[in-house]
Amino acid sequence: RIVVVSIDPETRGRQRKNEVARYGQSFKDRAVARLLPPESVAVQTLARELSISAATLARWRAEALSQPVGERGWSAGARFEAVLSTAAMDEASKGAWCREHGVYPQTLEQWRTAALQALDEPEEVARQALREKKAERGRIKELERDLRRKEKALAEAAALLVLSKKLEAIFPKDEDA
């Protein structure tokens, strides 16, 4: 907490202390995460638990809900837990679970597909990385060859310039011979 001290002219110079609470962003994020699905704790309950005004918590939640869905989405672990917990459910109970946790069934299916792809593709990802690395090495070799060629051309041009200056120093053009 930060204590703000102000001097009020009506109190004739006596100080008045107002306590203003300042919360870090990580604290706010944790509190809002508890207010949103999957936990969905009631604002009043969390306000009593954290000793924070319910209005403040409601404002934080409103700010979080005003952000795009991707920015306030579930963590990877929470998505995986949701996929695991709904895997054996029939459509009716899965729909009820989705309504309870504020998730669309299509989103849940996307999470399941993404989890399966993440499990299936490690070899393909490794092969793709190898192909990219090989292509990068080839490009590096090509650039190094090009650099060497240009350095040789630059050295040759510098040598010709030096020789032309020496020739001009030995045989000046301005002399009438």
Distance CA 149, CA 16 (A): 78
Buried b (16+ CB within 10 A) or exposed e, 57-94: beebbeebeeeeeeeeebeeebbbebbeebeeeeeeeb
pTM above 0.75, yes or no: no
Cis ω before 38 (30° cut-off from 0): yes
- 125-138 confidence digits (pLDDT tens): 778 888 999 999 99
Domain spans of the chain, in order of start: 23-73, 75-171
Distance CA 10, CA 15 (A): 11
Given a cut of 50, is residue 14 above it in pLDDT?
Answer: no
Tokens 């793709």 appear where? 128
- 66-115 confidence digits (pLDDT tens): 775 554 567 777 888 889 989 899 999 998 888 887 788 888 899 898 88
